[in-house]
Amino acid sequence: MTFKMIELPYEKNALEPYISAQTFDYHYGKHYKTYVDNLNKLIENTEFATMSLEEIIKNTYAKPEYTAIFNNAAQTWNHEFFWKSMRPNGGGEPKSELKQKIETSFGTIEKFKEEFKTAAITQFGSGWAWLVEDNGTLKVIKTSNADTPIAHNLKPILTIDVWEHAYYLDYQNKRADFVDEYIKNLLNW
């Protein structure tokens, strides 16, 4: 199986002024593309060549001999999920079923947003903040580098990429500003 870059679910400039087309040129067009290209090279003529991304991730996680394959597969998957976790005119509140689950798990939507923001801002170095489902309960987690909830049998609901390449051109070192704008204006419930 050869992996291909997924199409963005919106135009590169559709998330402006919160994320610029220039950021997408680098983030989508260079970083994400590199993960996909590297993954294809790394799995060529291996047992992983016929597996899905999820299968590759689960079969390479925490196995030092497959670190490069895991990192590129997980980053490909994480980015594809990230593109879908935001939309033009996003933010606001989720639909009734997800809203009810969030209120059950966090008390209020605002408390969830605070916890999600804190996880994203306090992720040391590169990584991700996630809303995941774990045996029917929603929780916020953060992962470093290429780590991904699916490697831990958690169901991702949404994510934010807090690697610097996700926001640096638009926000420089102001990760908190990026996270605020993402939650208020881009989050795709």
Q: Quick one: pLDDT at residue 98?
A: 95
For the chain, which domains are there? Answer: 21-84 (1.10.287.990), 96-186 (3.55.40.20)
pLDDT over 80 at 1, yes or no: no
**Amino acid letter, 113:** K
- Angle ∠(20,23,24) on CA atoms, nearest 5: 95
Q: Mind listing the pLDDT tens digit for each residue in 46-76?
A: 999 999 999 999 999 999 999 999 999 999 9
Q: Quick one: pLDDT at residue 96?
A: 87
Q: Are 133 and 157 in contact (CB under 8 A)?
A: yes
Q: Quick one: pLDDT at residue 95?
A: 87
Task: Count the Cβ atoms, other than its own, within 10 Å of residue 9.
Answer: 12
Q: Mind listing the pLDDT tens digit for each residue in 91-137?
A: 999 988 999 999 999 999 999 999 999 999 999 999 999 999 999 99
